[in-house]
Amino acid sequence: MRHLFLNGPVQNGPFTFATRPGKAVGIRLAAALNAILGLPPTPHLWNTVTLAGDLRHREADGPTIPRQRFEADLITDKYPPGQFPVGGIMTDTDAEVARLALEMIENNLCAGTLTISRETVPSCRACGHMTGTGSHPCNACGSTDTEDRTGLHLVAELAKDRPVLDRSDIHASHRQQPRHLQNTAGNVAERLILSRTRDHGIDLSPHGLDGLVLDPRVGIHVTVLAAARRHEADTAVMTITENAANHIAAHGQHFREHGGARLQYALHGYLPYDHTASLQPLHEAYRATQAIKESFETWFLPLFSLRTKTATSPEQLPALFKHYMRAHLAQPAEVNAAAFNAVQHAVGAGNVSWITNKQGLANVMAARRAPIPSAAGPAHG
């Protein structure tokens, strides 16, 4: 089974990676895991189908700039100069994502897991935006004048014979299965409307749903599968926080398998990037170079986030930095092929215990600076 790690598409909000490094955890984690498996760089995935994005585009001097280009420019600005990703970027409205989405919708319609049916949904009388239930102003235009509108929609029927999330949907060894998430993710209506009113998204008019786009929670899954298809992977593993997985899992139920490829979630926690300055005394004690500090923050911490359910606390940072430095100092001159292969096997199996094992980590660090040895023995002497 060929695994490929891809980041859960990041919402293209108002931030840069320099100011909000926490936004890059999923991207960095996927890159670190792919590198251990010897896989080439993958595209960074972005979620651009948002109401906030619609409003930002409407307000900008240019609705004159086409939306696709507008989003791409905003994404490019998030990377420090000269650090645009080697594997490029892919957004949830790229042509290859849209093509795959329409294919998957078609298959699901044939299988009866999706239907197109007449639905009555609360909508804004002023602008037509689907407002959802409850009495609150329209999120798109602020009008309080809502009405029930009846029209065709794309609807998912959740499977009755299996849960929204089961063990096979999570990339983790049996011991690390997130039971809480499996329970909460299933806590949704039996029918979900997958068509939305947005300025920007995967256009559903080929299915007769004029003016509607695919729900971005579905699109996020299709984006990951489209990137995996480009790399011919059997299993696309999406790095994602438990919160985010809880938010999208039900919408993705019929969009986690296509053409022999399947999608799994690898869950990671949040990292205390706002508190890394507290490591200053340890940096001095270990005479840590800039490269070592950066590698700890952008490589090791994202890997460690796989071990935490919700968040790494700031108080854990000193112990983690010491562990990292001990492994750094214990790096073998030559990579131990057997130890490194054991880590590769663990990564493929969703086992994360090697990250806190000094020898395992030391061998992975050594492999980062040397060619990866073959199973037959060290590649060079």
Binding interface with Zn ion (CB under 5 A): 124, 126-127, 129, 138, 140-141, 143
Q: Which amino acid, one-letter code, is at 172?
A: A
Buried-exposed string 237-251: b where 16+ CB fall within 10 A, e elsewhere: bbbbbbebbbebbbb
Q: How far is CA 272 from the centre of its chain?
A: 19
**3-state SS assignment for residue 84:** coil
Are 264 and 236 a contacting pair, CB within 8 Å? yes
Q: Which is nearer to Zn ion, 27 or 140 (CB)?
A: 140
Minimum distance from residue 9 beta carbon to Zn ion (Å) = 26
Are 137 and 143 a contacting pair, CB within 8 Å? yes
HSE-CB of 4 using CA atoms within 13 angstroms: 22
Q: Which is nearer to Zn ion, 87 or 128 (CB)?
A: 128
Are 241 and 268 a contacting pair, CB within 8 Å? yes
> Pairing relation of β-strands 3-7 and 235-241?
parallel
Q: Which is nearer to Zn ion, 141 or 292 (CB)?
A: 141
Q: Which is nearer to Zn ion, 138 or 335 (CB)?
A: 138
Minimum distance from residue 218 beta carbon to Zn ion (Å) = 23
Q: How far apart are the first and last CA of the chain?
A: 32
Backbone angles phi, psi at 5, to 5 degrees: -95, 135
Minimum distance from residue 64 beta carbon to Zn ion (Å) = 23
Minimum distance from residue 61 beta carbon to Zn ion (Å) = 23
Q: Which is nearer to Zn ion, 138 or 233 (CB)?
A: 138
Minimum distance from residue 57 beta carbon to Zn ion (Å) = 16
Q: Which is nearer to Zn ion, 4 or 138 (CB)?
A: 138
Q: List, in order, residues 6 or more apart from 351 with CB less than 8 Å away.
A: 173, 176
Distance CA 76, CA 219 (A): 21
Distance CA 318, CA 316 (A): 6
Q: Which is nearer to Zn ion, 127 or 370 (CB)?
A: 127
Minimum distance from residue 149 beta carbon to Zn ion (Å) = 12
> Using the 8-state DSSP alphabet, how is residue 270 labeled?
B
Minimum distance from residue 125 beta carbon to Zn ion (Å) = 8
Q: Which is nearer to Zn ion, 122 or 332 (CB)?
A: 122
Minimum distance from residue 146 beta carbon to Zn ion (Å) = 8
- Strands (E) in 125-197, as ranges, are 146-157, 191-193, 195-196
Minimum distance from residue 101 beta carbon to Zn ion (Å) = 26
Element (H, E) at 261: strand 261-268
Q: Which is nearer to Zn ion, 123 or 363 (CB)?
A: 123
Distance CA 12, CA 343 (A): 33
Q: Which is nearer to Zn ion, 129 or 328 (CB)?
A: 129
Residue with tokens 């993958």: 42
Q: How many CB atoms lie within 10 A of CB 101?
A: 27
Minimum distance from residue 129 beta carbon to Zn ion (Å) = 4
> Pairing relation of β-strands 44-47 and 89-91?
parallel
Q: Length of the chain, please? A: 381
